[in-house]
């Protein structure tokens, strides 16, 4: 489908939308119904609404409907208020953009209007530093050459200025003529591809003949860009409002479901099924009792004949009574604490990058706990592991190597002498470096030249050429000027053959103004340039140069050129113009036409550019690998370069401990054989303590994913490390999807626009705010300034978030089950009638006020200090395998709630069973027992106390008595004087003591036994922290078989300042352990789970212990003993 835009024509204003921007979800009229519809689209909310509606039936409700309607309305009001506030902020932002004043030309008259009144076809005028209000086709600028500069950071995150040029048909038009310009633009319907605009422009006489003028993205100014370093510019509005390219990309991203959320949903379903069973059993028992025992009791006033629905009354009463098994506040509580987790990341000063003044930021507030369960990290190389600060180091020109001895070609005297003697091959080489690019030279006020480059490689080449006396100093439109040894060389740029990820090269066709010759200058990847060399040229030296530089971890580019004759260029130019004018498959047709010219090349040489590793990268990767996380490097670089970088940053170990397996091939058979060979090796070495990784290039990867996906998937699950070279952005996303299909938790990290698809596809996306811009950071769930901060993001924030969420979710179920079980026990002594022990006020306040504050403050709890967690990353194992939240741990909390309910009910009913006691007194005693128990449960489960936590626990307990004393003064509340009477009775306080002692005694005893005699790795670290000892003996991360009991590891804890810390890793699981065999389990601690963890985790954790000899262990133990004696 196409769109035809008539320039400066007011008759088409009604055909397309206006320029009003709207990012709002709601309006005043539809907010209430739409928000309620969204909230009630969730199953749990539908369930609670059904319960609330059933409570309106007075015949079956055991309590006042307010006990359910109150919390339900409160929770819905909180969610609706948050949505309304967010939408109001979006409205204010839209209003500011829509009411901004802009200049347009209508009917030949230039006037000022609001941005929202711009229509398609209007000519919009911009001044320097103005924001572009809609998508424009550039038709005029203040520059005589028709160029302007724009800042696109708000659009794509790239901070460097971009050059935009007016359509060739509009060259030379004065501002007065631009007011009267007439014509038509043929363009595609609105889309969100910000890097592509395939259109044609046709101006009407008298401005130009009716020839088509092709338009590309370089002829456009897109919405939200800023005009820089240009006095004025004007353009024709082609897309407006929400139909702009930026508007098409707006929207709310699909929510990501964390593993914890999925487990909570499953547990909620299990509780719901249990509730149905309880309701059916008690309903049948109640009807039986009513028809038998109730008939013998004169005070039971059941009617002899009831309505047809009589059998449903008691079951429905129990359904309402048991509805509190599922905590109504759990979603709001989790949303609140997850928002705070995100704020903790934003506020973390230790993740602040002082070099770039970049703080860490959590854009997604809902998935922090997933950071603690990461199993695979897929990372880009350039700009992510490296600094993306390119430095020209070496080169090979016409078979001669420069910079090999000094390590810096810019200081190589042989090269400098060759330049001084004006050797033709060297001059051509430098010319390609200086001219074949899209760099913009800018002269500052003091006369120095600075370069604005879209690529760091181009920036390095242009700077290197300038250092070698080939200085690019001016670029005006199609004219380019280079200063070489005080002589000015002029080139006219005829055509630019742009770089694409498929072509892997870029070229320019220039006319040398000195001799009028036409030259094709090309640079690109060696596999894209060398095969197109002229038939008579020897390229073996260049292949060796590429191999040598790659072995050093340097980035290589191949430079070439070719002289063209006039007829050849003229014929090709017509084809290029035709391909450039098509609206369908323009990119493919252009690539085909470019290939016609980019052949029979004269290879000039090879450049080698260094991209140094970021600080802390090797240490970060080593630490995260010890945490059981597998690493994959996905890069567009050559195989050897990627391997060298991988070795230098601890991705893989050097021989003999490490082993690299190559998967190569250009066809299906070769790839199949190579893949089968690597698979066989992997299967054999999977039980050996050897660091095995596979390496695959983009071509072989495409064949493997298309024809051998099953084998490649098996290989992916067996390998700890993978290096994928020459991969495209789409292949990166495919690899993420492959691992996700195997139910692994993936984290993708990158820094450039080519990493966005991978980042968005992963369970967790992390963007680095790097030199390639902010596009990756803006698309990611989390953004950080450097790769080294990933260690803290996962080990500290991820682990703490998972631990806290696991506790909060299970505790929420525990406190709801506790009160529900007491209700069920009470039904056994109330004729199984579904009568509620607690009044409506108590039930409503229980979840909303009495038990919420202490749980929310648990987000401050830390089971281990941050330093200990960073020193011993192996303990992340407990999070990765879901050891703190799974059916087994939930069964422990379920059993605890049942036990505590039994204790509270039996003690309360036996102390207050005389005839003088009222039901309200028994109710308040039981409720008080629940509150006391939960206070002590919080104390026992809290690992680190702060003043705020003490205030929340004990202050909440005191608030319970204050609130109930106030309620007891109200005659209408149904609790008149109850609390005052109870507090004056010694038996009440004795009852509280008995409930706490009987309820918490067994729990504390079990925890003490586990902590003392069956300590986990975390328990031992906690003991060491509390004792303050320098070194402690620690067993396996998870006990396995009895044969493993002799395995011991030494680890260091925070030591006194006078001692140097000694680090030894934790001993991890045995080699036979796997994700499906996680050792014995006991109540109230870590339990087995069905979570999938790579079977190579144990090898990943135990690498260092494999190298320890028995005598080294004994020596270490002797040192431990002597240190303990000294202490």
Please give the average per-residue pLDDT across 209-229, as a whole number: 84
Between 195 and 741, the more confident residue is 741
What pLDDT was estimated at residue 405? Answer: 81
Q: Name the token pair of 914.
A: 């005389």
Going from the C-alpha of 28 to that of each of 25, 285, 794, the distances in angstroms are: 10, 51, 42
User: How many other CB atoms are there within 10 angstroms of residue 1018's CB atom?
Assistant: 22
Strands 746-750 and 764-768: parallel
Q: Name the token pair of 459.
A: 């920036």
| 986 CA to centre of own chain | 57
pLDDT at 91 over 50: yes
DSSP notation for 406-472:
TS-GGG-HHHHHHHHTT-HHHHHHHHHHHHSS--EEEE-TTS-EEEE-SSHHHHHHHHHHHHTTEEE
Question: Residue 754's pLDDT band (boundaries 50, 70, 90)?
Answer: confident
Provide the CB-side half-sphere exposure for 1044 (13 A, CA): 18
Question: Residue 811's pLDDT band (boundaries 50, 70, 90)?
Answer: very high
Please give the average per-residue pLDDT across 283-298, as a whole number: 74
> Where does residue 1079 fall: left (phi above 0), alpha (psi -120 to 50 degrees), or beta otherwise?
left
Place of tokens 């390219």: 245
Please give the average per-residue pLDDT across 521-531, as a whole number: 92
Query: For residues 522 and 543, what is the distance between their CA atoms, to the nearest angstrom?
Result: 17
3-state secondary structure of 442: strand
Query: For residues 501 and 757, what is the distance between their CA atoms, to the nearest angstrom?
Result: 14
Going from the C-alpha of 1067 to that of each of 254, 402, 1038, 1074, 1077, the distances in angstroms are: 40, 49, 9, 15, 17
pLDDT at 641 over 50: yes
3-state secondary structure of 41: coil
- For this structure, is 380 an active site residue? yes
- 467-498 in b/e burial notation, b at 16+ Cβ within 10 A? ebebbbeebebbebbbbbeeeebebebbbbbb
Question: Residue 1055's pLDDT band (boundaries 50, 70, 90)?
Answer: very low
What pLDDT was estimated at residue 1065? Answer: 27
Q: What is the pLDDT of residues 1015-1024, one digit of tens each?
A: 888 888 888 8
Query: For residues 214 and 578, what is the distance between their CA atoms, to the nearest angstrom?
Result: 9
CA angle 1088, 1094, 1097 (to 5 degrees): 85
Query: For residues 160 and 150, what is the distance between their CA atoms, to the nearest angstrom?
Result: 9
pLDDT at 1048 over 50: no
Percent helix, strand and coil across the chain, each to the nearest 5: 50, 20, 35
What pLDDT was estimated at residue 253? Answer: 58
Q: What is the pLDDT of residues 693-729, one digit of tens each?
A: 899 988 899 899 888 888 899 888 888 899 998 888 8
Query: For residues 665 and 41, what is the distance between their CA atoms, to the nearest angstrom?
Result: 51
| Cis peptide upstream of residue 991 (ω within 30 degrees of 0) | no
- Which residues face 693 on adjacent strands? 660, 721
Query: For residues 957 and 781, what is the distance between their CA atoms, to the nearest angstrom?
Result: 39
Q: What is the pLDDT of residues 1087-1113, one digit of tens each?
A: 333 334 444 444 444 443 333 333 433
Residue 156 · residue 196 · CB < 8 Å: no
pLDDT at 1045 over 60: no
Please give the average per-residue pLDDT across 215-224, as a whole number: 88
For the chain, percent of residues with pLDDT exceeding 70: 85
User: How many other CB atoms are there within 10 angstroms of residue 1006's CB atom?
Assistant: 16
Strands 721-725 and 630-634: parallel
Between 1077 and 554, the more confident residue is 554
Question: Residue 305's pLDDT band (boundaries 50, 70, 90)?
Answer: low
Between 52 and 474, the more confident residue is 474
- Which residues face 605 on adjacent strands? 397, 559
Please give the average per-residue pLDDT across 827-842, as a whole number: 81
Residue 118 · residue 237 · CB < 8 Å: yes
User: How many other CB atoms are there within 10 angstroms of residue 448's CB atom?
Assistant: 8
Catalytic residue among 156, 380, 459, 763: 380
Query: For residues 402 and 412, what is the distance between their CA atoms, to the nearest angstrom?
Result: 6
Query: For residues 765 and 748, what is the distance between their CA atoms, to the nearest angstrom?
Result: 5
Q: Which of 493-507, 510-524, 1032-1046 has the lowest mean pLDDT?
A: 1032-1046
What pLDDT was estimated at residue 418? Answer: 93
CA proximity to 599, closest of 636, 564, 556: 564
**Angle at which helices 986-1013 and 919-941 pack, to 10 degrees?**
30
- Which residues face 201 on adjacent strands? 185, 213
- Best-predicted range by mean pLDDT (178-187, 818-827, 1071-1080): 818-827
What pLDDT was estimated at residue 136? Answer: 94
CA angle 92, 96, 100 (to 5 degrees): 165
DSSP notation for 769-809:
-BTTBSHHHHHSSEEESSTTHHHHIIIIIIHHHHHHHHHHH
**Angle at which helices 799-828 and 919-941 pack, to 10 degrees?**
160
Residue 268 · residue 327 · CB < 8 Å: no
pLDDT at 764 over 50: yes
Torsion of CA 582, 586, 588, 592, to 10 degrees: 50
Global confidence as pTM: 0.76
Q: What is the pLDDT of residues 609-640, one digit of tens each?
A: 988 888 899 999 999 999 999 999 998 887 88
R_g (Cα) of the chain, nearest Å:
36
Instruction: Please give the mean pLDDT across all residues of the chain.
Output: 81
Residue 132 · residue 166 · CB < 8 Å: no
Helix-then-strand count for the chain, H and E:
38, 35
- 643-656 in b/e burial notation, b at 16+ Cβ within 10 A? bbbbbebbbbbeee
What pLDDT was estimated at residue 1108? Answer: 35
pLDDT at 304 over 80: no
Query: For residues 638 and 1097, what is the distance between their CA atoms, to the nearest angstrom?
Result: 29
Please give the average per-residue pLDDT across 828-839, as a whole number: 82
> Where does residue 730 fall: left (phi above 0), alpha (psi -120 to 50 degrees), or beta otherwise?
alpha
């Amino acid at each position: 489908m196409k769109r035809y835009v008539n320039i400066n024509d007011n008759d088409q204003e009604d055909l397309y939308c206006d320029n009003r921007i709207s990012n709002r979800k709601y309006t005043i009229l539809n907010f209430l119904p739409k928000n309620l519809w969204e909230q009630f689209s969730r199953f749990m909310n539908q369930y609670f609404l059904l319960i609330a509606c059933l409570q309106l039936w007075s015949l079956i409700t055991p309590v006042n409907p307010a006990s359910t309607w109150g919390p339900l309305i409160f929770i819905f009001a909180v969610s609706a208020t948050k949505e309304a506030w967010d939408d109001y902020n979006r409205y204010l932002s839209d209003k500011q953009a829509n009411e901004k004043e802009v200049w347009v030309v209508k009917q030949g008259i230039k006037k000022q209007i609001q941005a929202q009144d711009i229509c398609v076809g209007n000519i919009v005028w911009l001044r320097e530093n103005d924001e572009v209000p809609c998508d424009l086709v550039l038709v005029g600028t203040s520059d005589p050459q028709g160029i302007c500069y724009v800042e696109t950071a708000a659009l794509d995150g790239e901070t460097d200025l971009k050059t935009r040029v007016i359509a060739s048909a509009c060259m030379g038009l004065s501002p007065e003529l631009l007011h009267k310009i007439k014509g038509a633009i043929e363009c595609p319907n609105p889309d969100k591809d910000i890097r592509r605009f395939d259109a044609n422009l046709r101006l009407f006489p008298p401005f130009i003949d009716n020839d088509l003028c092709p338009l590309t993205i370089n002829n456009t100014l897109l919405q939200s860009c800023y005009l820089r370093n240009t006095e004025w510019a004007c353009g024709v509005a082609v897309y407006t409002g929400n139909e702009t390219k930026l508007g098409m990309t707006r929207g709310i991203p699909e929510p990501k479901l964390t593993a914890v959320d999925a487990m909570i949903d499953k547990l909620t379903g299990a509780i719901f099924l249990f509730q149905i069973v309880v309701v059916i059993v008690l309903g049948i028992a109640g009807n039986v009792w009513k028809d038998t025992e109730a008939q013998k009791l004169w005070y039971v006033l059941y009617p002899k004949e009831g309505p047809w629905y009589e059998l449903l009354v008691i079951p429905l009463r129990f359904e309402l009574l048991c509805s509190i098994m599922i905590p109504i506040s759990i979603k709001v509580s989790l949303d609140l604490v997850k928002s705070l987790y995100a704020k903790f990341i934003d506020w973390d000063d230790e993740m602040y990058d002082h070099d770039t003044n970049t703080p860490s930021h959590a854009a997604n507030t809902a998935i922090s706990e997933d950071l603690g369960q990461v199993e695979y990290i897929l990372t880009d190389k350039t700009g992510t592991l490296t600094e993306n600060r390119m430095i020209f180091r070496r080169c090979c020109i016409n078979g001669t190597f420069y910079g090999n001895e000094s390590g810096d070609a810019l200081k190589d005297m042989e090269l400098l002498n060759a330049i001084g003697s004006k050797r033709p091959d060297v001059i051509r080489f430098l010319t390609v470096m200086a001219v074949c690019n899209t760099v913009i030279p800018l002269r500052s006020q003091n006369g120095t030249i600075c370069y604005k480059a879209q690529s760091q490689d181009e920036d390095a080449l242009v700077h290197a050429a300038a250092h070698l006396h080939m200085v690019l100093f001016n670029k005006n439109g199609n004219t380019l000027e280079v200063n070489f040894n005080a002589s000015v060389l002029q080139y006219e740029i005829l055509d630019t053959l742009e770089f694409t990820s498929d072509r892997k090269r870029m070229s320019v066709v220039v006319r040398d103004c000195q001799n009028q010759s036409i030259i094709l200058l090309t640079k690109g990847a060696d596999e894209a340039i060398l095969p197109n060399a002229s038939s008579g040229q020897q390229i073996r030296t260049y292949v060796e140069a590429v191999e040598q530089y790659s072995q050093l971890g340097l980035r290589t580019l191949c430079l070439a050129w070719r002289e063209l004759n006039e007829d050849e260029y003229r014929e090709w130019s017509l084809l290029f113009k035709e391909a450039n004018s098509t609206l369908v498959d323009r990119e493919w047709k252009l690539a085909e036409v470019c290939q016609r010219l980019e052949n029979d090349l004269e290879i000039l040489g090879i450049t080698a550019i260094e991209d140094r590793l970021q600080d802390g990268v090797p240490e970060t990767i080593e630490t995260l690998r010890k945490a059981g996380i597998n690493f994959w490097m996905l890069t567009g670089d050559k195989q050897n370069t990627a391997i060298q970088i991988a070795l230098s940053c601890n991705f893989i170990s050097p021989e003999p401990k490490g082993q690299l397996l190559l998967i190569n091939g250009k066809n299906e058979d070769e790839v199949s054989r190579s893949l089968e060979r690597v698979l066989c090796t992997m299967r054999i070495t999977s039980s050996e303590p050897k660091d095995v990784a596979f390496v695959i290039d983009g071509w072989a990867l495409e064949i493997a994913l298309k024809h051998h996906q099953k084998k490649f998937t098996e290989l992916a699950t067996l390998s700890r490390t993978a290096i994928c070279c020459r991969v495209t952005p789409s292949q990166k996303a495919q690899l993420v999807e492959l691992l996700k299909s195997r139910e692994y938790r993936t984290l993708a990290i990158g820094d450039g626009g080519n990493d966005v698809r991978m980042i968005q596809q992963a369970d967790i996306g992390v963007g680095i705010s790097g030199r390639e811009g902010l596009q990756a950071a803006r698309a990611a769930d989390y953004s950080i300034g450097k790769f080294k901060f990933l260690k803290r993001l996962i080990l500290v924030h991820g682990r703490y978030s998972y631990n806290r969420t696991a506790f909060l979710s299970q505790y929420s179920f525990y406190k709801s089950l506790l009160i529900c079980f007491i209700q069920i026990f009470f039904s056994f002594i109330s004729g199984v009638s579904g009568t509620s022990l607690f009044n409506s006020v108590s039930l409503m306040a229980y979840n909303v006020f009495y038990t919420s504050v202490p749980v929310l403050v648990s987000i401050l709890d830390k089971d281990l200090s941050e330093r200990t967690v960073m020193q011993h990353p192996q303990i992340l194992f407990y999070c990765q395998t879901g050891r703190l939240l799974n059916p087994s741990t939930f069964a422990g909390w379920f059993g605890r709630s049942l036990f505590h309910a039994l204790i509270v009910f039996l003690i309360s009913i036996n102390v207050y069973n005389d005839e003088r006691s009222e039901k309200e007194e028994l109710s308040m005693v039981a409720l008080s027992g629940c509150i006391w128990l939960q206070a002590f449960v919080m104390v026992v489960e809290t690992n680190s106390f702060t003043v705020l936590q003490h205030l929340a626990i004990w202050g909440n307990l005191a608030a319970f008595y204050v609130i109930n004393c106030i309620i007891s003064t109200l005659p209408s509340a149904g609790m008149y004087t109850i609390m005052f009477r109870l507090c004056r009775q010694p038996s009440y306080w004795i009852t509280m003591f008995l409930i706490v002692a009987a309820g918490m005694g067994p729990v504390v005893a079990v925890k003490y036994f586990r902590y003392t005699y069956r300590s986990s790795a975390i328990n031992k670290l906690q003991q060491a922290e509390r004792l303050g000892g320098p070194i402690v003996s620690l067993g396996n991360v998870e006990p396995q078989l009895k044969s493993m009991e002799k395995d011991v590891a030494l680890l260091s804890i925070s030591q006194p300042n006078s001692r140097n810390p000694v680090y030894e890793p934790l001993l991890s699981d045995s080699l036979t352990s796997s994700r499906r065999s996680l050792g014995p389990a006991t109540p109230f601690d870590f339990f087995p789970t069905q979570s999938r963890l790579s079977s190579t985790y144990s090898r990943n954790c135990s690498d260092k212990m494999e190298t320890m000899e028995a005598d080294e262990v004994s020596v270490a133990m002797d040192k431990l003993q002597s240190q303990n004696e000294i202490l």
